[in-house]
Amino acid sequence: MAYRNSYQYETSPRKLEPEYRPVKKKYPKKSTARKVETTQKQAPKPKTKAKRKMKSQAKVVLYIGVVFAVLFAISYRNSLINEDFSKIKSLKNDLAAIQKENGQLQVSIENSLNLQNVEQSAKELLGMQKLNSTQAVYINLPKQDYVEPAAEEIKKEEDVAWYQKIINLVLGK
């Protein structure tokens, strides 16, 4: 033990104290009643250890199951997305094919509207021919006018050249 090295100048010397004090641990008193209880408690301990081990294994299995379910949900969602993308791709391909066919039909319509093609198809399919002078039919209409003349006579004066006036006078028009 280490003591302070100091001298006291009084009539009664003081007791020197050590620099530190040791800590005394207090232990509970052992009794036979407690020993009996501890022996009874020790018997179920292996069961509790087994239960704890089972619980920890169950937690691990549960966590693995949850992780598996999450991964399954993610993969299922990705498969649905892939299906949607494949549908979109097929629809785009169908659209491109329809647009190509539409363009071809427009070109064929423009070609069929050509007058030479119309004439050729009329000759071949319908057996038509061009009109010639022998096929012309003339109709005679009576010279009677079916339109009533106006109540007032409208004269329209035109600027006529002087020589035209002379010709009209000679002819009586």
Higher pLDDT, 39 or 114: 114
Compute the mean pLDDT over every residue in the chain, rounded to the nearest whole number.
80
**Contact partners, residue 121, CB within 8 Å, separation at least 6:** 112
Model confidence band, residue 139 (pLDDT cutoffs 50, 70, 90): confident
pLDDT in the model for residue 4: 55
Q: How far is CA 64 from CA 4, 57, 59, 97, in A?
A: 66, 10, 8, 49
DSSP letters of 19-70?
SS-PPPPPPPPP-HHHHHHHHHHHTTHHHHHHHHHHHHHHHHHHHHHHHHHH
Q: What does the pLDDT average to over 133-145?
A: 79
Q: What does the pLDDT average to over 107-128?
A: 85
Q: What is the value of pTM for the model shown?
A: 0.36
Model confidence band, residue 10 (pLDDT cutoffs 50, 70, 90): low
CA pair distance 65, 114, nearest whole angstrom: 74
CA pair distance 59, 33, nearest whole angstrom: 38
pLDDT in the model for residue 49: 84
Considering 27-31, 47-51, 56-60, 134-138, the range whose residues carry the highest mean pLDDT is 56-60
CA pair distance 42, 48, nearest whole angstrom: 10
pLDDT in the model for residue 132: 83
Model confidence band, residue 21 (pLDDT cutoffs 50, 70, 90): confident
pLDDT digits (tens, 9 = 90+) for 47-76: 788 888 899 999 999 999 999 999 999 999
CA pair distance 77, 85, nearest whole angstrom: 12
- Nearest Cα neighbor of 16 from 5, 24, 25 is 5
Task: Say if residue 162's pLDDT is above 60.
Answer: yes
Task: Say if residue 156's pLDDT is above 90.
Answer: no
pLDDT in the model for residue 108: 87
